[in-house]
């Protein structure tokens, strides 16, 4: 049988256990006739957005928060402290993600998702009420530790989709992040420090005057409350009984990839699953790069030109990130499926990673531009780089989730999230320290100022690119 004639899914007996939500979901998928599960993917989108907004809302403005806390002794040290504040969320998430993944495999995806959204409502509001640097660190740390949504939501969006729609399902998580990049920086840029920006509406002695970053956080918490209510109608996907080996699937390989591969037939230790383990290295490298890039872009854009920056305002950098998020949303909904279908999971990730290196190499030269030329260059580069990053991350996530069976999917995503969170926690600290160091070497002959910063970012991206080639990446074995 040729590769074009092979079935997408090996026929398996339909699950029939009464009262089992996992069986009900399998029956619904079997009777869908290949239709996209729009309702379930809408739930995936809004819950992922509610989880991402606390990260994106004030991320570009941590520089100003640290400055307002008066903890940094010099202007150059602000980036260092901002890095630790950004890292606190990822540190908390890194310590708890495995637990939430295992719990999602035991009790179900829905309760873990709902609890995570509840924690967003509470601790994101407390973050906006922070009056000291250490209070802000503590609330971000606890929020990261109690927000266990990422592992179960990735497992969930794979489990509600037929194999041919799984790439779309996982891309919805990234699409929600794209929306977060639009809505989050906009909220942070326009609603932070309202007493200064809108003195006729918000007075300096009001609660929003005393807590200049409460209004955007409160807006996010209100949205999360609405999402928490919507979670009541979120269908469960986990099986409530012992499942026979019915999760075995033979997935049609995409063009440019030979043959067919299948998820493991037997539940075995994840440490023995070479295909899954091999995806961890690129996942961590690209996560490190993405977070370091976001931290450096914000610090670099708002810092003074005498330090090699662009002297952007909070509104300017918020607009750049919002435009990047808007273009990413269009890319995910319209272009990505064509790219994925044409190039395949692995090749699309490789090409996107290579092109991203070229795009990032243009950033240091933007300091020679001004006005419309600078705005156009930065907006174009940011939009292109965002699309390339999502292509890579969605491909890696698809490989991870299809390399394990359902009973291990939450745990596998939890371990991956822990590893990723560790790298994302050191990324802003390292990026902030690197940026502060670079600002002090503006007059050196070799790679002065921002040039050394973007060179280090490209080295990390290069390591990620190398890790998605054999022998580092092990594709699942072909059936006999």
pLDDT band of 402, cuts 50, 70, 90: confident
pLDDT attached to residue 249: 41
CA 84 – CA 302 distance, rounded (Å):
18
Residue 4: what pLDDT?
37
If residue 159 lies in a helix (H) or strand (E), which one and from where to where?
helix 150-159
Return the pLDDT at 229.
93
What integer is the mean pLDDT of 427-450? 77
pLDDT given at position 476: 62
Enter the DSSP assignment of 365.
Answer: G
Q: What is the mean pLDDT of residues 307-317?
A: 74
Summarize pLDDT for 190-229 with one digit per residue, the tens: 888 888 888 888 888 888 888 888 888 999 999 999 999 9
User: Topology of domain 34-241, per CATH?
Assistant: Growth Hormone; Chain: A; (1.20.1250)
**Cβ-proximal residues to 248 (8 Å cutoff; 6+ apart), any chain:** 10, 12, 262, 263, 265, 405
**Domain 34-241 shares a fold with domain 273-479:** yes
- Domain spans, the chain: 34-241, 273-479
- Residue 250 is given by DSSP the state E
| Max Cα distance, the chain (Å) | 75
Predicted confidence (pLDDT) at residue 1 exceeds the cutoff of 50: no
Q: What is residue 282's predicted lDDT score, i.e. its pLDDT? A: 92
Q: Give the 3-state DSSP-derived string for 79-145, with helices as H, strands as E and coil as C.
A: HHHHHHHHHHHHHHHHHHHHHHHHHHHHHCHHHHHHHHHHHHHHHHHHHHCCCCHHHHHHHHHHHHH
pLDDT digits (tens, 9 = 90+) for 115-155: 999 999 999 999 989 888 899 899 999 998 998 888 889 88
- pLDDT of res. 273: 82
371-to-275, 364, 368 alpha-carbon distances in Å: 49, 16, 11
Q: In the chain, what is the straight-line distance between the N-terminal and C-terminal CA atoms, in Å? A: 13
Topology of domain 273-479 in CATH is Growth Hormone; Chain: A; (1.20.1250)
Question: pTM for this one?
Answer: 0.73
- Count, in order, helices (H) and strands (E) of the chain: 19, 2
Give the pLDDT mean for 393-401: 87
Sign of CA dihedral 235, 231, 111, 180: positive
Residue 442 — pLDDT band, cuts 50, 70, 90? confident
- Of 37-41, 87-91, 247-251, 389-393, minimum mean pLDDT range: 247-251
* Mean pLDDT for all residues in the chain: 80
Model pLDDT, residue 225:
95
């Amino acid at each position: 049988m040729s590769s074009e004639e092979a079935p997408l899914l090996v026929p398996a007996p339909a699950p029939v256990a009464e009262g089992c939500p996992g069986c009900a979901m399998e029956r619904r998928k079997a009777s869908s006739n290949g239709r996209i599960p729009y309702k379930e993917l809408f739930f995936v989108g809004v819950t992922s957005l509610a989880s991402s907004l606390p990260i994106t809302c004030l991320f570009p403005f941590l520089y100003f928060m640290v400055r307002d806390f008066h903890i940094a002794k010099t202007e150059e040290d602000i980036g260092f402290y901002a890095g630790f504040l950004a890292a606190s969320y990822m540190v908390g998430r890194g310590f708890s993600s495995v637990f939430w993944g295992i719990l999602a495999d035991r009790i179900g995806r829905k309760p873990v998702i709902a609890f995570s959204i509840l924690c967003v409502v509470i601790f994101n509001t407390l973050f906006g009420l922070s009056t000291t640097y250490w209070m802000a660190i503590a609330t971000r740390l606890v929020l990261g530790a109690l927000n266990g949504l990422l592992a179960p939501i990735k497992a969930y969006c794979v489990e509600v989709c037929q194999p041919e729609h799984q790439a779309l399902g996982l891309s919805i998580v990234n699409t929600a992040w794209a929306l977060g990049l639009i809505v989050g920086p906009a909220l942070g840029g326009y609603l932070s420090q309202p007493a200064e920006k809108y003195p006729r509406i918000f007075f300096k002695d009001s609660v929003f005057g005393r807590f200049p970053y409460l209004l955007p956080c409160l807006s996010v918490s209100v949205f999360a409350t609405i999402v928490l209510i919507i979670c009541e109608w979120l269908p469960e996907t986990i099986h409530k009984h012992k499942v026979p080996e019915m999760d075995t699937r033979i997935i049609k390989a995409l063009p440019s990839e030979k043959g067919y591969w299948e998820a493991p037939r037997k539940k075995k230790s994840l440490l023995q699953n070479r295909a899954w383990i091999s995806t961890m290295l690129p996942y961590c490298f690209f996560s490190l790069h993405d977070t370091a890039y976001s931290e450096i872009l914000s610090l670099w854009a708002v810092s003074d030109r005498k330090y090699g920056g662009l002297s952007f305002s909070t509104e300017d950098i918020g607009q750049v990130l919002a435009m990047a998020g808007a273009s990413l949303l269009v890319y995910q909904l319209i272009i990505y499926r064509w790219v994925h279908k044409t190039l395949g999971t692995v090749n699309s990730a490789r090409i996107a990673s290579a092109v991203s290196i070229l795009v990032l190499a243009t950033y240091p030269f933007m300091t020679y531009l001004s006005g419309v030329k600078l705005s156009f260059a930065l907006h174009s580069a940011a939009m292109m780089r965002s699309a390339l990053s999502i292509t890579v991350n969605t491909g890696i996530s698809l490989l991870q989730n299809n390399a394990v069976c359902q009973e291990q999917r939450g745990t596998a995503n939890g371990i991956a999230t822990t590893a990723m969170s560790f790298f994302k926690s050191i990324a802003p600290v390292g990026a902030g320290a690197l940026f502060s160091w670079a600002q002090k070497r503006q007059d050196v002959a070799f790679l002065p100022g921002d040039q050394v910063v973007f060179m280090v970012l490209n080295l990390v991206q290069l390591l990620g690119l190398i890790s998605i080639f054999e022998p580092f990446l092990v594709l699942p074995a072909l059936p006999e």
